[in-house]
Amino acid sequence: MVILMKIVMAFIASILIGNVENRRPTRNSKMWNTNLDDNYDYIVVGAGSAGAVVAARLSEDRKNRVLLLEAGGHYDENEDIHVPILWPTLMNTRQDWQYYTEPQTHSFQGLNDNRGFFPRGKVLGGTSCINAMQYTRGSPFDYDEWEAAGCYGWGYNDILKYFLRAENIDIDELRYSPYHSKGGPITNTYSYRTELSDIYLKAGQELGYPITDYNGEDQQGFSTIQKTIRNGVRSSTGLEYIGRAKYKDNLHVSLNSLATKIEIVHKRAVGVYFIKDGMTYYVKCNKEIILSGGSINSPQLLMLSGIGPRDHLTQLGIPVHADLPVGQNFQDHQLILLKTKINKPISINPGVLGDTFNQFMYRYFKTGPYSTSGGDASAFLHLDQSKVGTTYPDIQMIFQSSLIHANGINMKQEIADEVLESDPNAHGFTVAVCTTHPRSIGSITLRSTDPLEHPKIDPAFYTDERDLDTLVGGIRLFEQLIETNTFKELGANLDGNNYSFCSNYTFRSDDYWKCVIRHISITEYHHSSTCKMGARHNPMAVVDPQLRVIGINGLRVADASIFPNVTSGNTNIPAIMVGEKAADMIRKGTRGSFRRKGYRSRG
């Protein structure tokens, strides 16, 4: 009777809120083109967080003929993409590139073969289709630092308009904030929150931290997580910029099309080779080619095309068109997971997700636990309080209102047996303590000249030990939170993080935490900076502030790989901003054409 009453009330609520059909994802099938033209004005390689944006915006000019090449398939091939709580299940699927790092010495010691797992979206919408959906722009200090380093036009005051252009704010208290806007493609909302959401904020307040909008004037403090979710459905760039868009006959989208090489003639990019359905094709470009493959794929394709470090390309027998430090500035946030059980049944666990009512509510009304990513709060904190207001925070904390139940990060079995929660009905939460500006710098290099072979990924985590010290400092801040009355009332404690594989050290000592970090810390999935933007005289720059590849005409890069330095926090929204700004620069600055023919099969 109780369940029946809930269903009746939910049905009435759905009528008041709006038609249920409007809450389902939609697709525009007319754009999935199999009969491509022999040439296009613009070719965008990669339909991810930035690429889908670039293609959609360029095609708004009806005179532009745009081709969008995506190595993966359509997002509707896996319905779980649209269900926010199921994001962890999307790893190791067809929609994931399933990258692994080279074996590491300083990190990943508790992972199989000491190799980190680096998932990346291989689908229309890219990683915006498989990420945890946290809407984070970074600190204003990030972008002002970019500009001070010679990236003119990328200061915070310059790029804020592109964040606003992309956003559709669906949070009542932020609706009239000058830092937010309504009407853009990507919805920003709180979505469903557990009771733990307010508890996290209360604990932060107990330590004297403000409750803030981390996408506003200053990141410092505790905030409810803002998420890229629209009416209970993931708000990805593939869906919002391409799938929901009106049909445009000047935009062709070719899925399952892996770009293998850019043709360069007399220092100009003139066409793209790609593989589709086992056949090799070539299509000419009249104006510009824009690479938006992400921080792993974009440098790989550049190097395969002869743009990269001369010595490396020469060793592989690749003719060099431009000697640039492609792949040599890999940056990524490091993350350590800490967990605690609690004494109240207010988190999300497998038992909650298995509840028939919760499944019903999501299936028919897109509400309840399935309509959230599980993240309830985020904190951006300085280790040195004297620096508050003068620079970006050192630490990001993400409070996930669940325990870790599945081994999605390549842990050795004996490690996983200690770290993962085996009881499906246990309640608790997990906090990810993350660096915001790591000092360890890694690299992406080619394994071979075969475009189907994954490149070598060497993240070099903790080769600069200052990153270890920063994470230990973040753990100390979490220890202070655990001691608040707010968390004590929940029975929260750190005992569940006392692992035998680091038992040679005193529990909770600096050396103990460093041991744990070296064993089980992982990527925050924020790979960046491998095609660094900078002034043309900067020896580490691959692209200039207009995102043009230095020394090559008609070729730009627009994705997270162009970051001079990784931003503070999640990188999906900054990548979308890059897509918006890139398209704007191209539309305002490009005139004339460079027409060549030549779409052909080489099967």
Give the domain ranges of the chain: 33-106+116-187+232-331+442-460+527-603, 191-224+334-435+462-520
pLDDT at site 6: 52
Of 279, 332, 324, the C-alpha closest to 528 is 332
Query: What angle, 0 to 180 degrees and rounded to 10, lies between the N-to-C axes of helices 356-365 and 2-17?
Result: 20
**Residue 596 confidence (pLDDT):** 32
Question: Residue 146 corresponds to which tokens in the numbers above?
Answer: 């970019």
Rounded CA-CA distance 278/255 in Å is 13
Residue whose tokens read 């200039």: 544
DSSP letter, residue 81: G
Question: Across the chain, which distance is largest between two alpha carbons, in Å?
Answer: 76
Asked if residue 156 lies in contact with residue 449, where contact means CB atoms within 8 angstroms, the answer is no
Residues 6+ apart with CB under 8 A from 332: 438, 442, 459, 461, 523, 524, 526, 527, 528, 566
CATH number for the domain whose boundaries are 191-224+334-435+462-520: 3.30.410.40
Alpha helices, DSSP H, located in 390-456: 413-419
Cα 211 to the center of its chain, rounded Å:
25
Catalytic residue list: 526
Say how far residue 432 (Cα) sits from the centre of its chain: 16
Q: Tell me how far apart the terminal alpha carbons of the chain are, to the nearest angstrom.
A: 64
Residue 348, phi-psi category: left (phi > 0), alpha (psi -120 to 50), beta (remainder):
beta
Contact 124, 425 (CB under 8 A): no
Q: Which residues of 174-200 are buried (b: 16+ CB within 10 A; e: fewer)?
A: beeeebbbeebbbbbbbbbbbebbebb
Q: Which residues of the chain have pLDDT under 50?
A: 1-2, 4-5, 8-9, 12-23, 590-603
Task: Tell me the pairing of strands 307-308 and 322-323.
Answer: parallel
Please say whether the dihedral angle defined by the alpha carbons of residues 289, 290, 293 and 299, taken in this order, is positive or negative.
positive
Q: Specify whether domain 33-106+116-187+232-331+442-460+527-603 bears CATH 3.40.47.10.
A: no
How do beta strands 117-118 and 186-188 pair?
unpaired
H-helix segments, 107-181: 140-148, 156-166
What is the spatial distance between Cα 140 and Cα 122, in angstroms, rounded to a whole number?
30
Structure tokens at 177: 């904030």
Calpha distance 199→482 (Å, rounded):
12
For the purposes of burial, counting CB atoms within 10 Å of the CB of 591, is it exposed (0-12), middle (13-18) or buried (19 or more)? exposed
Residue 70 to residue 95: CA distance in whole angstroms:
11
Which pLDDT does position 248 carry in this prediction? 85
